[in-house]
Structure 1
Amino acid sequence: MDKNTLITVLGPTASGKTAFAARLAYAIDGEIISADSRQIYRRMDIGTGKDLSEYTVNDQSIPYHLIDIRAPGEKYTLFDYQHDFHNAYNDILSRNKTPILCGGTGLYIESVLKGYHLPDVPANPALRSALEEKSLEELTIILQNYRPLHNTTDTDNKKRAIRAIEIEEYKSKQESVATSFPPVESILLGLDIGRELRRKKITARLHARLQEGMIEEIRNILNSGVSPEDLIYYGLEYKFVTLHVTGKLSYEEMSRQLEIAIHQFAKRQMTWFRGMERRGFAIHWIDTTLPMEQKLQLAHSFIE
């Protein structure tokens, strides 16, 4: 295998991507680039499932990139991710190591593999101020006037909706100067986990994280000055636990709604990956229930 070849490890939440990618990196002298839209944030550890201990294999630390690079509350765009990915990717190649892209954010993965052409849209304080007084329903109508709403997360909350309008307004007013990133060839390895096993793992992991201090983690972030709305923006654990900490949801209701939301999220992840296959990506699926050594053997057969 050419060391310049990017290997991508993908799969839904709870499929064991991190442990597998770390063991693969150990075997082929690789380094991992995270493709997780929330693990970029410092102090958001339990809720995002960083599991940093898994990056140690046989007492050797596996280098990782694009984890803990931003403060909670900061906005991070797909353009930012492309830029940071290529910096990390080129750095790894310059040291003659093998880059392994690992994560479950399909949009991040596809954006770098296809080389999405994106405008770097600056903040528009005047527009934000004008939109801030409007309700989420009003913002949704405004956004619909720009384009059809295929992605419902754009109107999940006011901050998302305002940013989506900001981008559309910018694109409508000028020919944006976009930075073009080249497509990246990659061998794609997918960890396949059955629906029922995935559901069991998600449920068990959620309860474990609640016991491990996820509520306290989120309370500490809020106490540090990050606004509840900024944390809710990140969705899933940060949305529902913030609503619990701020008194909007009981513990039981938070736990119930969050579990449902994570199951739905995992289903959307698989829908995205199946869509990637329809769009021409060849994903080599590996049964996650196989012993680790067997999974690694299969991976080697695909990448050699």
Structure 2
Amino acid sequence: MNLETPLLVILGPTASGKTHLATRVAYEIGGEVISADSRQVYRQMDIGTGKDLDEYRVNGRSIPYHLINIRDAGEKYNVNDFQHDFADSYREILAANHIPVVCGGTGFYMYALLKGHANDTVPVNEALRESLENQTTEQLLEQFHRSNSPYHSLADTSTRKRLIRALEIATFLSEHPGQEIRFGTKDQAYPAMIFGLNPPVETRRERISQRLAARLKQGLIEEVQNLLNEGISDESLIYYGLEYKYVTLYLTGGLSYEEMCVKLETEIHRFAKRQMTFFRKMEKDGLKINWIPHEWAENEKIRFVIAHYREFKSGNTSNM
């Protein structure tokens, strides 16, 4: 692929204000937003995934977005699907002479774009997955940390399903030492200017708590019930994690309402912490993230992002 225009990436943990900033920046520079969120791809999963589609209308203008509502709920979607769909969206945006603004919190997806990724060559090991399902997440993490493979430093272990896939890949590589798998090649990687939002922990925790309460009032439980009513299995919804996992457990009698609320809020806080851990790992792997001071006014953040992106784009283009 001819990578003619660098990506403008805005990342951050949940409830950090990514979408709000990304849409305002896109409005100013003639951009289109590409979502890098592993769950916003699904239709009918709106409240729980925090699509916030109202954010995509700025000063009366609709900001085009991509990779939201592209799959039916109940389907599986992985990083390789994302890479292929992303490439199509990237080409569409360039054809319109617009700027690709990537926005999301799924670090593994963004890592795949920025470093390249080739784990699709590792086959699924059903027997291994079945044996791992009986272990606790803590046991899986301990087992993974004991592993020794080229994939160890790159893996995303932010959710149980990704942790199991990481163990699957690590096991495959240990059993096939001669296997050549490249986890980052220049011809796969997109040039990008990366910006990060990271509110103070207490601010983030307060936002998460307030947002969860708001989503419950907006109909989160009804959204999950509708998915169940349409024939999507308990297992599929639990697979999606967080809101869909715990609300499903509540609706199917596994948790009381109070237990659901407490466990869900706790897990979202933990999820945000894991997101930040992955972003820090991205930095250690050589991806520079320009962290934007939380205390800056919105206009100051927008100006900062645009000015630095334009400078980067100018330098990147002159080197092509």
Q: Normalising by structure 2, what TM-score?
A: 0.81
Summarize deviations over 1:141-200 as a string: whole Å, max 9, x none. 9xx69x83967959937x985x67876788768969999861111000111211110000
Question: Within 5 Å, which residues of 2 pair with 1:36-115?
Answer: 36-115=37-116
CA contact (8 A) 1:44 1:217 kept: yes
The alpha-carbon distance between structure 1 residues 208 and 3, as it changes in their structure 2 partners (threshold 3 A), is farther
> Structure 1's 237 and 155: CA in aligned 2 closer, same or farther, altered over 3 A?
closer
Residue in structure 2 matched with residue 136 of structure 1 by the alignment: 134
The residue aligned with 2:244 is 238
Greater Cα shift, 176-185 or 42-51: 176-185
1:286 to 250, 275, 292: 292
Q: Per the alignment, do residues 117 and 132 of structure 1 end up closer, same or farther by CA in structure 2, a change over 3 Å counting?
A: closer
- C-alpha spacing 1:154/1:188, structure 2 compared with 1 (3 Å): closer
Q: Is the 8 A contact 2:47 2:215 kept in 1?
A: yes
Counterpart of 1:156 in structure 2 is: 160
Quick check: 2:117–2:182 contact (8 Å CA) kept in 1?
no
Q: 1:210 aligns with which of 209, 216, 220?
A: 216
Taking only the aligned residue pairs, the percentage that are identical comes to 49
More displaced stretch, 103-112 vs 115-124: 115-124
Q: Which one is further off, 258-267 or 273-282?
A: 273-282
Query: Displacement, 1:238?
Result: 0.8
Identify the residue that residue 234 of structure 2 maps to in structure 1: 228
- The DSSP-based 3-state class of the residue aligned with 1:197 is helix
Counterpart residue identity of residue 272, structure 1: F
In structure 2, the residue matched to 1:272 is 278
AA of the residue aligned to 2:92: D
- SS, match of residue 119 in structure 1: helix
Distance of 2:160 and 2:72 partners within structure 1: 22
Report the count of equivalent residues: 296
Tell me which amino acid in the other structure corresponds to 2:62.
Answer: S
> Structure 1 152/164 Cα, relative in aligned 2: closer, same or farther at 3 Å?
closer
The SS at the match of 1:39 is coil
Question: Quick check: 14-23 or 172-181, which moved more?
Answer: 172-181
Change (3 A) 1:185 1:218: same
C-alpha change, 1:287 and 1:237, in structure 2 (3 Å) is same
- Residue identity matched to 1:63: P
CA contact (8 A) 1:3 1:97 kept: no
Q: CA RMSD in A?
A: 3.2
**Contact 2:147–2:170 (CA under 8 A) maintained in structure 1:** no
- Are 1:25 and 2:26 counterparts? yes
Letter in 2 for 1:33: I
CA distance in 2: counterparts of 1:22 and 1:193, whole angstroms? 18
The aligned amino acid for 2:8 is I
Judging changes above 3 Å, is the alpha-carbon distance between structure 1 residues 121 and 221 closer, same or farther for their aligned structure 2 residues?
farther
Gap change, CA 1:134 and 1:106, over 3 Å in 2:
closer
Which of 222, 233, 256 in structure 1 is aligned with 2:262?
256
Unmatched segments (≥5 aa) in structure 2: 311-320
Cα distance in 1 for residues equivalent to 2:156 and 2:200:
26
Secondary structure of the residue that 1:240 maps to in structure 2?
Answer: helix
C-alpha distance in structure 2 between counterparts of 1:164 and 1:281, whole Å: 21
The answer to whether residue 190 in structure 2 is matched with residue 184 in structure 1 is yes
Distance (whole Å) between structure 1 residues aligned to residue 5 and residue 212 of structure 2: 37
- Higher mean C-alpha deviation, range 205-214 or range 3-12: 3-12
Distance 1:52 1:222, change over 3 A: same
Unmatched 5+ residue regions in structure 1? none
Shift of 1:87: 1.3
